[in-house]
Structure 1
Amino acid sequence: MNQEDNEKKVMIVNGSSHTNGTTMVAIEEMIKVFDAEKIETEVVQLGGKPIADCLQCNVCQKTGECVFKDDGVNEFVKKAEDADGFVFATPVYFAHPSGRIFSFLDRVFYSAGSEEIYKAFQFKPGAAIAVARRGGCSATIDALNKYFGIAQIPIASSTYWNMTHGLTADEAFKDEEGMQTMSNLARNMVWMMRCFELGKKNGVPYPQTATEACTNFIRRDDGQR
């Protein structure tokens, strides 16, 4: 393994209130692959502590930091600058992600909206994981993928949708295809990170990003758009 591989890092957000529940089982299956490939990982456990919603107060647009400073959002954005990939994992609540990961990521990506901080996420592979007893995983993954789609984060996929099933951690281990999906997903992320690194080494520039247009879909008083 070369030095560049040793320096790669993936930031993982566990959106479950249970730090060692079914969601963590899926995460740990990916970490096995990352460890074998000498990829550093850091898991951000949202746990059961309160996480504030985004107020759209716009303080972060002036200061570069979210106004709430006690629940890890600002720390995550800062660490994202040195990360090479991202995994957002969540249990399924009523066919959507947990409210805590929604609140956390809303503030992460809104506070990272300034041009300099936004670059912390651009062109780094990301993957969403959903864990359920039975149903709702597809809608949950779709919701989390929205964050990647607005931040120029290439979405990593696997041999099945990025989901596992189980009511308890012990049950989750028995989802053999789910565990296989997590392992393949991690391998695909490693491959993507290495390809991006080779591109940079060989002079392949990042795409130029235009940001001037901002349309609110409101007609002018004279009827023109």
Structure 2
Amino acid sequence: MKVIGICGSPRIGNTEFYINLVLDDLKENGFEVELIRLRDKNINQCEGCYKCIENKRCVIEDDFHEIFDKMAKAHGIIVGSPVYNGSITPRLKALLDRAGFSGRWVSNNLKTEDGKYQWGQMLFSNKVFAPVTVARKTGQTFALAQLTLWATVNDFIITGSNYWTVGTAGTSGRVNANEDSEGISIMKHLAHNMNHVITKLND
């Protein structure tokens, strides 16, 4: 079983630290894991062209497709972002927008009944999702909600921990997540819960 972590940070820093805590724990328990750093990728924003309906794939050619294919094959996905002005990072938002559209239309057609969409299974149905946000102090709530709302509309099963899955680090740009003992504990428990849920779903 495979779990991927997607880091939306534009630098090597605290967000990557928290995601790796979860991935390392899962790896120790027999999972195949991979960290994807968006700072190394070229990902353009969704153009709202709806060509993914007809083509069954996003028609914008960049690094999106490589990541999307890995998302499609994973049993679990951890998505992490630092909080900038109360929000997730733009490159991560671009990835999620396009993945949401593409995942919806891969196996569905644009059909309505009485003006309402009739959805069946989607690409991400029954996959396990965990959101992680990192901030110096505040702004966590909206950013965490962004990730959670994206996961719920795309039919993921969301895994939580014994507290909101947030880290507190980065005062004056510092890379000091290793000092956040509570955040570390939260991430380790998140790994335990992801292990439990993914294993049960695939028994």
TM-score range with shorter-chain normalisation? 0.7 to 0.9
Give the direction of change, closer, same or farther, for the CA distance of 1:48–1:134 in structure 2 (3 Å limit): farther
Pick one of 79, 83, 100 that aligns with 2:91: 100
Q: Secondary structure at the match of 2:184?
A: helix
Instruction: Establish whether residue 136 from structure 1 lines up as the match of residue 136 from structure 2.
Output: no
Instruction: Establish whether residue 180 from structure 1 lines up as the match of residue 188 from structure 2.
Output: no
**Mapping 1:51-130, distance limit 5 Å:** 51-71=43-63, 73-116=64-107, 119-130=122-133
Q: Secondary structure at the match of 1:10?
A: strand
Q: CA deviation at 1:49?
A: 5.0
Q: TM-score, normalised by structure 1?
A: 0.79
Deviations 1:60-114 (A, max 9, x none): 111122122212x222222233210111100001111111111111011112211
Contact 1:77 1:120 (8 Å CA) reproduced: no
Pick one of 3, 6, 22 that aligns with 1:10: 3
**Aligned residue identity for 1:52:** N
Pick one of 158, 161, 166 that aligns with 1:158: 161
Partners of 2:16 and 2:68 lie apart in 1 by 22
RMSD in angstroms over aligned alpha carbons? 1.7
Runs (4+) of structure 1 exceeding 4 A deviation are none
Partners of 1:57 and 1:115 lie apart in 2 by 15
Length, aligned pairs only: 189
Q: Secondary structure at the match of 2:107?
A: helix
Q: Secondary structure at the match of 2:34?
A: strand
**Aligned residue identity for 1:172:** A
Partners of 1:46 and 1:99 lie apart in 2 by 10
Q: CA deviation at 1:169?
A: 6.1
Give the direction of change, closer, same or farther, for the CA distance of 1:195–1:89 in structure 2 (3 Å limit): same
Contact 1:138 1:161 (8 Å CA) reproduced: no
**Deviates further, 61-70 or 101-110:** 61-70
Q: TM-score, normalised by structure 2?
A: 0.87
Pick one of 144, 147, 152 that aligns with 1:149: 152
Q: CA deviation at 1:134?
A: 1.1
Corresponding residue number in structure 2 for 1:197: 202
**Deviates further, 115-124 or 99-108:** 115-124
Partners of 1:193 and 1:169 lie apart in 2 by 34
Partners of 1:63 and 1:11 lie apart in 2 by 26
Give the direction of change, closer, same or farther, for the CA distance of 1:80–1:170 in structure 2 (3 Å limit): closer
**Aligned residue identity for 2:154:** A
**Aligned residue identity for 2:85:** F
Partners of 1:112 and 1:26 lie apart in 2 by 27
Partners of 1:55 and 1:170 lie apart in 2 by 35
How many percent identity over aligned positions? 28
Q: Secondary structure at the match of 2:157?
A: coil
**Deviates further, 154-163 or 42-51:** 42-51
Q: Secondary structure at the match of 1:77?
A: helix
Contact 1:34 1:186 (8 Å CA) reproduced: yes
